[in-house]
Structure 1
Amino acid sequence: MRNKMIFTDIALALLSSAILLTSCTGNSGEGMIIITESVSSQGKPDFVTGESWRYLPQTRLLAFNPEHPDESPEIITPDFYSARTPEVSYDGKFLIFAAQQNENEPWQIWEMDLGSLKARQVTSSSDNSIDPAYLPGRRVVFSRLSQNDSLKAGHTLFTCNLDGTDLQRITFNPHTYFAPSVLKDGRVIAISRQVYPYLDEPAIMVLRPDGTKAELFYKGVKGNKPVSRGWETADGRIIFIESENNSYTGGKLVSINYNRPLHSRKDLSQSMEGDFRSVFAMTDGRTLVSYRTSENDLYSIYEFDSENMLLGKKLYSSTTANIIEAVAVYEHERPRKLPSEVDMGVKTGLLLCQNINVTGMSSPETGFSLPLADRIEVIGVDSSLGVVEVEKDGSVYLKVSADMPFRIRTLDAGGKTVNGPGGWYWLRPNERRGCIGCHEDNEMVPTNRYAIAISKDPIVLPVHVSGIKEKKIELE
């Protein structure tokens, strides 16, 4: 009899929530706000495992109507031990989130129909998955812990269909990745931190959904760390939370321009006390933030005027828990669906460097120059992949085994290091990439000239590999 009563209570709770979400528009709850409530305190985040940062115990998703602040919010994840990182689908009808159904079980990705509040499991893995974001074409990108990974990475980015099929890994360097989101141009940005050969400061990387064209998007000054998912605004900015001075409890609300992300950082909260936990940008220009006035306060949800840098009205707060995330339910523009050049029948990718002696500090064309290098060493995770002499104009053309991380350093004729090694690269199968130089300014425009190396066959790396059997491509 007792079990029957419990089942009845759960059914009534779900029915009440469904009525709440459909009452606003009679459809899927457009205009509602989904929030994440957390009763746990945040410790120092682990950027490798995600503990005390991305994975929090006993969090739950609630829905409330901001037009009716007197109404109590409804729990929409009563059947989960912990649930968080929600994102609403482009048509406003579904919600994707990460959840732990039972304590001590792995976190998985789930999708909920906002009309019926029925949730179905998307991923099924023995490793934790977190931070899902919708991609065009009924796919999702998310972060997954890679146990015993030979690439020495913690969390890597994966994509799959919304039914869990066609699982594809898209990051291959010894970095750990969290909090991906999708830009309007179809690319993915995510918090990334190098974990090998040394632990570097977190930054924001950008790449295409197939894992090609990965590069640095934003990196703050030393000690500053992006700690939240970034959202693109209607006026072409990306806003996110950045901790300062090695603080981990919260951070400043920061924006960067889409067109110049490396050189446009703006502190939107510079005149405010307290700190922020998360942010959500709506397409109508409004912004929702999780904010608290001091460390002794709890995080609550507020509106924020990002143009005038002013905190708006409080939308929801709790006397017993932190409200750490908020997303609004509404139909919004679908990002571009980018075509993919990846061909799994091809085992290599191609990289052309125009001039290895062009760097962020020097260029043979500027009058100020480091000693000239005449060769490069390509370095893998565990060993050197080979030393390659470059052409007289400094160009080099490489064919590299796909999905293999590598770094490049430049050498002089005596084998001494001139510059580097730099950051990690990888090439997807059939990917074609080009770079201007080594460690060059990311905003530098290449000189309009023909590189000698392109007139010759690419040099195969690793150098001990020969006779690579590629897929034959016939041109019409």
Structure 2
Amino acid sequence: MSSPFRWPCLWLIAHCFTASLQAEERDLLNESPYASEVRTRAAHLAAPSPLTRSKAIERLSMMRERSVCHQVSTLLGDPDARVRREAVMYLAINGNRETLNHLIETLNDADWTVRQAGIIALRTATHLKLPYRAEARASVRTPQIEEIKSTLSKLDWDTHISTLIKTAEDTQLEYAERCDAIRAICRTGEANDELVRRIIKLVKPHETKSYYLTGKSAQKVMYQSGGANATTRPPKQFVGACIRAIGRLSQAGKQGESYLISLLDYPHWADQALDAMLDCGGPASIDAVIRHLPDYGFNPSTRHEQHTSYQHIVKSYPASDNPQLCMSDRLPKLYYQGLRVLCQRPLLERHRTAIRAIAPTILATIPNHFDSTVVYSREPLHDMTAYLLEFSGTRKHALDAAWAVIRKDRHLPESFEHKDSFMKLASDYFNTNKTTHPPYASQILAALARESDQIPHLIELLDHPNGWLRIDACRALIFLNAKQAAPKLRSLLTHSPDDATFGVRVDLDRFKLKPIEKQGYDEFCDPSPRFKYAWIIALEKLGDDRDIPLLQHLSTNDQNVLEVQHAAVRALASKSNSGAHRFLQTIERDHPYYSIRLLAREALYRSGTPRLRPTATKKASNPHNKPSSHASDQAGLSYAFIKGPHDTGNHFQISKDQTAYSTTDSGPTYRFGHNVYIYDTHGQHGKLKQLTHFNNAYVADLEVSYDGQWLLFCKRNIDSPDPWWHLFEIHTDGSKLRQITHGPYHDVQPVYLPDDSIAFSSTRLGYRDEYHGYPSTGLTTVNRDGTNIQVVGFNFGRDSEPSVGKDGKILFTRLELFYSRVKTEWTLMSAFPDGSKAQTLYGPERRELFYSIKGAQALSPPRHRVLRITQPQPFGNNQYIINSFRGPMLVGPGREQERFLLPNNHWAVTCPYPLDDQTLLVSAGKRPNPKNLMQAVNHGIYHMNVDDGSLKLIYDDPATSELDARPLRSRPRENILTANPTQQASTPYTGVMICNSVFNSRQQQISDRTKYIRINEGIPVVERHQTHTNHGAAWRNHGGPIGRILGTIPVARDGSFSIEIPADRLVHFQALDSDRQVIGNEINWQYVRPGDNLSCIGCHEKPDTTPVVQHFPLALRNKPVRLLPSDDDILYRAKMWFKGWAPDEREARMRSVNAINTYGRE
């Protein structure tokens, strides 16, 4: 079986081609890293592989590198459509007047996306309304093309440019219209002092205006329009376009450069000015940047004070760049842009002394790993820092300072003017025994080590007592391609004890007694920071096929943490050995962690290796059950429930009243007790029976079977070698207790499905949440006998508390996280039992309502911990019961209707379960103080009237809380929904996502200005460095995922698009305008299941509306555009450092400042 992309062949060609280029490369430190990147990518334009060619164009386009314009133009005739499409989109940004004729020819291309990209480029460059329909037949397009040719051939460019500048100057026009005129001038105008003068005049009135919304202003706009910058975007984009045009048009003039230098005094426009200098900056610009760089970077004297105010560490910055949180792992945007100018524009000899004078700032502004994702590839910042320090003659001094701290065998000369500063920086956080913070010395080595004589000393650090030094030694050795490190890495991994040998600490009773409070739930007690992941990644890069048996052992040893197994499979996936591929086939089919199965699946797909057939399992039974209605009279029922303490102890971001919660810190499940009981209401006083008799365990999440004869719950042992939550089942008479799931995984919150299988939430997903790094839980299914475990829900947060809707779909709540902190909110979801067609039923549109709930804690509106939706149950016709800090709510029909069922907040009510259309079975208790939601409550069992919220006591033991009560009675089964037949038949690698029209949006700028859609994948977080065994807070893992750009495509004339992407991978979409600026950012992760088609109406469309379809979406007239991952995709740190919202200025950092492997410009 061969891959459609024939990746093995392409990889071999690309590898040989790249190797030949590297053999000719000059020493990186003697050449600007930017120049080296341009030279490498320009050479790739002639590569044999179309994938390599298309990726080279994509990189050069993201860099806005115009020097290769002619070479890219020649690829408009490339045999591969993706190469042609990327070439057209490159010219849309970087082209000029001479490239218009080439673009006209693309209107005859065989591929409709190339044609659509071509007309977008022509309209952008000319600001003319050129009539053309890319999707039409050739007979329709041909006369349109001839008309376009005629129009452009008759164009007097001097007159046209004059008209464009007058349009830009017309204050009666909308900013968007004026902005488009400037962008046309930027592409087809020529250097002209008078033109530059007039554009400068357009910017001047805006110099002191930042157009940045903060606080309640931003919050109000966000709630009303879904975009924090919706009202300020047009003028801001207009000014930005003007500044960029000044750079493009000032390559031979001083007027524009001088004005750009003056803008460096305005932090809110300095970013744009520095970016424009990349096109025109001369010696004067270099001088100005060197003067300002100490104000833009970290202060060498205060950078170690991580928890102080930003202005104490960085002197000059735009307001949008202030994280208002710990910033030691953050790179200031103005500093990064200044570094770009120094590394991209020519330096003179006199600049050597000036850069040497600011060397401490350059050394100080290398971000550290604290609270960050560790990346095992050399990033642009590393190369730029090393280049500038080498240019100034201080790089080796920095390395000597690091070694002087670590090994004590080197020293800096007394004559070195920065000796004290360098030694102080290298000494920051260096502590052999205490590893709360990564020592700065090890990060200096990773960033700056370039010579082979560093390798023996780095190898010595692989087993240094400080785990951070081990991690950074691995990174440095990888960067140096130090193959000689492989034997020691092999030995260390062979003799390293399993993580489980250190024990596990998950005792929730001791939550408040931990050395550092509010740490969340724990895992293995292996040393922190965790370093075995780094050892394996280094062995992957530096080892050989001799490592395969060791890697195979590590990949399946569940006595090690997730990241160790994941890294081992990643290393196996890099091998070309057929034995490794055969082993990956088994991993892809059988590994308990789904993230690892996905990793193996991608490797098999790329290599063309077939997948193994799933292991045959007996299907769940499909019992016959006669329909019956719920009894309206609740008298005489028996109820099963869990008895537990009033105060469970784990209350970090979870109210002690047990109504709602906000993060993952408090464990995979939230309400628990010690045993299951049954209360029979017959008789005057009723009868209580203890069903389970666990002496040293927790139980949670009770559910009852359809026939009312079986109870399902999860249990975990206390102080046991097996402390994980597992699923259990017991008969209601107390017999036949059996364990359903096993292994070092948390399996919680089970519910019976109509086909007699079980849905639950599980850490078998194999992701870590992007907020605090605890194991994510995904929707999962299993047969009642414990066979056929299938993960069917995917997220970077949590799938929780599944129930079954009246239509047979699974209802559940999802903790949606995004870019680490931007979004931390629970929403109500539904999906088919196989996980397909997942959709949001309620939540995002109602943030303002939830923010108004009195007493809700730790809110950072509008998206951070505001929505807290829990415990969903079906109720009525397209309505649902959910719980909140205000107790039960009735939501629906639709996404904008709801009703709180309690008249006030005097009672804490949780665990709502519908008994009929008037009554809920709930756990309720009167608050000791209604103004304090953080007090524990004595919950008893009550009936609650849905209409007036009145409560009727059923059972209450004042000594305990009674939770998760369920009636013991039979109930009808919902419809059994079959799985996707395509998925069952072929289990393909991909799925299809369709959008009817991005123009169907509540955000006007999306409707009016979207030209492209960019698809970004979030590569899941699997590794965790800081843990509870460290000296600091265990939740210091706000790394966020790694973003990967799968591709950018033009939307069809009607706003539709259709793409084929890898299945079960988390992606998000961005609407881009004609200059590839983000104007619409989908702030949630989506996925499509294998072989499935997932469609949406629009982009941030108005909820509860289905527009009348006027025509079949144009994009669906052709096959979906294939956007699959490669080894050369653009990567970036998908972390925003901010809580609650994502204005444009913050998003614009992603593919520039946060870039991992490219010198991107937004």
Contact residue 1016 and residue 1047 of structure 2 kept, 8 A: yes
Alignment correspondent of 1:88: 704
Superposed displacement of residue 178, structure 1: 1.2
- 1:315 aligned partner: 954
Say if 2:809 is the partner of 1:192. Answer: no
- Higher-strand-fraction structure: 1
Deviation at 1:214, TM superposition (A): 1.0
In the alignment, which of 217, 232, 235 is matched to residue 874 of structure 2? 232
Matched, 1:139 2:757: yes
Give matches, 1:10-21, under 5 Å: none
Is the contact made by 1:274 and 1:295 (CA closer than 8 Å) also made in structure 2? no
Q: 1:253 aligns with which of 881, 885, 888?
A: 888
Aligned to 1:305: 945
Distance 1:236 1:138 in 2: 24
| Structure-2-length-normalised TM-score | 0.35
Offset at residue 283 of structure 1 (A): 3.9
1:48 to partner: Cα distance: 5.0
Q: Alignment length, in residue pairs? A: 422
Instruction: Name the counterpart of 1:160.
Output: 782
Structure 1 Cα separation of the partners of residues 907 and 1100 of structure 2 = 37
In 1, the alpha carbon distance for the partners of 2:717 and 2:691 equals 13
Note the C-alpha offset of 1:415. 0.6
| CA RMSD in angstroms, aligned pairs only | 2.5
Q: Cα gap change, 1:326/1:53 in structure 2, threshold over 3 Å: closer, same or farther?
A: farther
* Residue 270 in structure 1 maps to residue 932 in structure 2: no
**How many angstroms apart in 2 are the aligned matches of 1:398 and 1:465?**
20
User: Is the 8 Å Cα contact of residues 671 and 963 (structure 2) preserved in structure 1?
Assistant: no
5+ residue gaps, structure 1: 1-29, 244-250, 363-367, 467-476
CA distance in 2, matches of 1:318, 1:419: 53
Instruction: Give the conservation status (yes or no) of the 8 Å contact 1:170–1:211.
Output: yes
Residue 325 (structure 1) shift: 2.2
Separation of aligned partners in 1, 2:940 and 2:1080: 48
User: Which residue, 677, 700, 721 being the options, matches 1:62?
Assistant: 677
Q: Does 1:427 align with 2:1088?
A: yes
Contact 1:385–1:462 (CA under 8 A) maintained in structure 2: yes
Q: Distance in 2 between matches of 1:361 and 1:263?
A: 18
> How does the TM-score come out when normalised to structure 1?
0.82
Residues 164-179 of structure 1: pairs in structure 2 closer than 5 A: 164-179=786-801
- C-alpha offsets along residues 241-277 of structure 1, whole Å, 9 cap, x if unaligned? 201xxxxxxx4221113x32x1221011024622212
CA-CA distance at 1:55 after TM superposition: 4.6
Post-superposition CA distance 1:67-112 (Å, at most 9, x none): 2352441111213622121111111111111112454411111111
Structure number having the greater helix percentage: 2
Alignment match, 2:1117: 455
Higher deviation after alignment, 133-142 or 232-241: 232-241
Amino acid in structure 2 at the alignment position of 1:337: I
- The residue number in structure 2 matching 1:209 is 833
Cα pair distance change 1:74/1:50, threshold 3 Å: farther
Q: How many angstroms apart in 2 are the aligned matches of 1:50 and 1:36? A: 23
* C-alpha distance after superposition, 1:400-443 (max 9, x if no partner): 11111100011012111121133211010110121121121232
Contact 1:228 1:242 in 2 (8 A): yes
Which of residues 611, 631, 640 in structure 2 aligns to 1:34?
640
Code of the residue aligned with 2:959 in structure 1: it is T
- Does 2:1016 correspond to 1:376? no
C-alpha separation in 2, matches of 1:270 and 1:91: 35
1:130–1:312 Cα change, 3 Å: same
Give the Cα separation in 1 of the matches to 2:640 and 2:1080: 49
Contact persistence 1:49–1:145 (CA under 8 A):
no
SS at match of 1:230: strand
Distance 1:144 1:50, change over 3 A: farther
Residue 150 of structure 1: CA displacement? 6.5
Q: Is the 8 A contact 1:412 1:418 kept in 2?
A: yes
Structure 2 distance, partners of 1:423, 1:376, is: 15
Partner SS for 1:454: helix
Which residue is equivalent to 1:10?
A: none
Higher relative contact order (CA 8 A, sep 6+): 1
How far residue 457 of structure 1 moved from its aligned partner, in angstroms, is 1.4
1:294-333 Cα deviation digits (max 9, x unpaired): 13651111111113x2423211111211112211010001
Q: Secondary structure at the match of 2:825?
A: coil
Q: Which residue identity lines up with residue 462 of structure 1 in the other structure?
A: L
Q: SS of 2:1009's equivalent? A: coil
Percent of aligned pairs with the same amino acid: 21
Structure 1 residue 74 corresponds to structure 2 residue 689: yes
Whole-angstrom distance in 2 between the partners of 1:52 and 1:164: 23
In the TM superposition, residue 131 of structure 1 has moved relative to its aligned partner by 0.6
Larger radius of gyration: 2
Which residue identity is paired with 2:777?
Answer: H
Distance 1:465 1:357, change over 3 A: farther
Q: Does 2:1097 correspond to 1:445?
A: no
1:121 aligns with 2:761: no
Amino acid at match of 2:995: C
Among residues 275, 279, 294, which one is paired with 2:912 in the alignment? 279
- Return the match for 2:992 from 347, 350, 353: 350
**Structure-to-structure mapping, 1:379-390, within 5 angstroms:** 379-381=1016-1018, 382=1042, 383-390=1044-1051
Distance in 1 between residues matched to 2:1056 and 2:921, nearest whole Å: 48
- Between 1:170-179 and 1:191-200, the stretch displaced more is 191-200
User: Which shows bigger deviation, 294-303 or 346-355?
Assistant: 294-303
Aligned to 2:263: none
Q: Which residue of 1 aligns with 2:726?
A: 108
Once structures 1 and 2 are overlaid, which stretch shifts more, 329-338 or 228-237? 228-237
Q: Is the 8 A contact 1:98 1:129 kept in 2?
A: yes
